[in-house]
Amino acid sequence: MRENNKYKVGNIRPSQLLFTYGIGAIAELPQLSVLVMGLDQWLIDDSQALYEPRLLAAVKTRLGNQVKSLRRPPIVPSEGGENVNPFMGVPVAPFPSWMVCSRCRLLAPLESGLFKIKSNPFRLNDICYVHANCQGSPKYKKEPAAIPARFLVACSQGHLDDFPWLYFVHRGNSECTGPLKFEESGSSGSTTEISVKCTKCADLSPRILSDAFGESGKTHMPRCRARNPHLNDFDEKCSEQMSTMLLGASNSWFPLTLSVLSLPENSSELEQLVEEFWSDLSEILSIEELRSMARIFAKSDLKPLAKYPTEEIWQIILKKKDNSQQPELEQKKIDLKSPEWQVFSQANVNLNNENFRLRPVEPPAGFTKYFSQIVLVEKLREFMSLVGFSRIQSSGDFGDEIESEEITIVPLSSNPPQWVPSCETRGEGIFIQFNESTIQVWEDSQDLRNKANKVKLAYGDWLSRRNLNPNKSLTPSMRYLLLHSLSHALIRQFSIACGYSSASLRERIYSKKPDQEGGPQAGILIYTAASDSEGTMGGLVSLGESSTLGYHISQALEQVKLCASDPLCAEHDANSQDGSLHWAACHSCLFTPETSCEKGNKFLDRSLLVKTLANSDLAFFE
């Protein structure tokens, strides 16, 4: 990461730029906090292009046809070199801009000039702001560090801003500019023990920070200024009330990402190789240029192409370029999962290649009634792109069909983006295909239909409490809840035996009823996809063999029969006022890390898997 094209301030992994510290998010460094700036300030020449047509088409559907490419975030070579751009990296800016002197407790913005940056090019973690000419105790000779003020304001429209310290202290708009002093009277860090006072206004009493939270905050805080700090811009207006939050709050940034699994095409080996290396081949303009490049194929990553005639490679390149130059059609919603379902359910081993390899095996003994096929995915690639983000409310909390206007998605750039940050990861997985006839018999029971009505009502109430239209979101079906619950039970079981932590495992649910387009579908893929070697060590695939999978499924089902929180867990109802959207599920039985779950630990119910203390009429497994 780099600040203002001047200082290098830290390092993060490429995948973190999509899920943790993406555009608009705050990265907390040891002595500094910074905001990742929008794509307008990124250097596109430092970003390598990725080729995945299905994902690019989905990104265009959401952001527009002006998006031309998917690109990796800029990565600084570890060995350096003369040709490395000294400003390469992800641009960031200090945020919040109000700092507190660690010695005299002065509270002031960076624009006041009272704080200056102190950097060490050899130790990035030491970079910090210091309070120059601090008037604190003279026994300190070293300039004291200035730390970020740990309070911010945001709104559900995606705006983020500095805490309005002057407005808050003076109980409204005032021409007084301080100075202000940030005081803590206790050691607990509670907002009732933190106060701010204006040292210039002697007749003004200090203001405690608890006044900025809860119901009192709605009357003591101003309206939102509609600020987008990652764009250095303001929206025209915002009707929301500011909400105070702590620096580092988990609801300050929720990424909106799209992901696909790279699927092999029914084409020749050479066409698959050209597609694999398209990011390197797409810039070639003539066959002469290709011939020059072909001389070093055997000594580069393009070695698999060395055995093919240059003319054949060139013809395939021309064909792909002609297809990419076809006029853009009106974009419609793209189903990313159905093509994956087709490949996994057909399990055609003739499509195996260097990046995708699957092997079908028989369902384990005792489960042939429930599962029609098990597919071991020994190699896979996942491509992911960041297309926006939200604040306060996560877009992942809603159904797949929710309309875009129901929740505000903040753009990544001031102008429509020409590219989006993306990453590629490799891994392995186990695909479990359910027996469709068994699922349909289970779905047709009257008890399950009654349960489906309760789920629909609960989801509608959940949306209404958030001022969203229940009619614009499709309620997940009961088969989705079944698949989702089993997926979580297996992730918890697999993490014990496969060598991967539960946070390293992910799920992909394929669920469609027969009357839906592309249906019926009923399957789960539990996979690991990581940018390091952990994603491809084989520990997960080995658990999918027929001789071992049955044991792990039995163990997973046995573990969810009784929960350490029973009977409270078994009796939990999503209609309660705790804001939840799950039934018999909790951290002791079904919840997984949110990086593993595609629905944020919502739409879970272990009573759909096995009999529980509170319900014995819905279990799918006997």
pLDDT tens-digit series, residues 180-212? 999 888 777 788 888 899 988 877 888 888 888
DSSP character string of 183-199: EE-SSS--GGGEEEEES
Amino acid at site 5: N
> Which is it for strands 69-71 and 419-434: parallel, antiparallel or unpaired?
parallel
State the pLDDT confidence band at 330, using cuts at 50, 70 and 90: very low
Sheet order of strands, 194-198 included: 115-118, 128-131, 145-148, 98-101, 106-109, 180-184, 194-198, 207-208
Element at 56 (helix H, strand E) = helix 53-63
Where is mean pLDDT largest: 139-148, 198-207, 542-551? 542-551
Q: Out of 90-94, 211-215, 336-340, which region has the weakest mean confidence (pLDDT)?
A: 211-215
Indicate the DSSP class of residue 53: H
| Closest to 495 measured CA to CA, from 405, 596, 410 | 596
Q: Out of 15-19, 524-528, 599-603, which region has the weakest mean confidence (pLDDT)?
A: 15-19
Within 413-514, strands assigned E span 419-434, 505-512
pLDDT of 405 strictly over 60: no
Q: Is 410 helix (H, G, I), strand (E, B) or coil?
A: strand
Count of CB atoms situated within 10 Å of the CB of 265? 11
pTM of the model: 0.83
pLDDT tens-digit series, residues 293-327? 777 776 676 777 777 888 878 887 787 766 555 44
Domain ranges of the chain: 2-42+90-248
Distance CA 549, CA 458 (A): 35
Q: What's the burial of 275, exposed, middle or buried (CB within 10 Å: 0-12/13-18/19+)?
A: buried
Distance CA 284, CA 290 (A): 6
Amino acid 209: pLDDT: 87
Amino acid 402: pLDDT: 44
Query: Which residue(s) pair with 75 in the sheet?
Result: none
Distance CA 109, CA 115 (A): 8
Residue whose entry in the numeric block shows the structure tokens 């479990």: 432
Residue range 488-516: mean pLDDT, rounded = 91
Indicate the DSSP class of residue 566: T
Enter the tokens of residue 13: 């992994």
Residue range 358-366: mean pLDDT, rounded = 94
pLDDT of 376 strictly over 90: yes
Distance CA 126, CA 121 (A): 9
Amino acid 269: pLDDT: 64
Of residues 390 and 295, the one with the higher pLDDT is 390
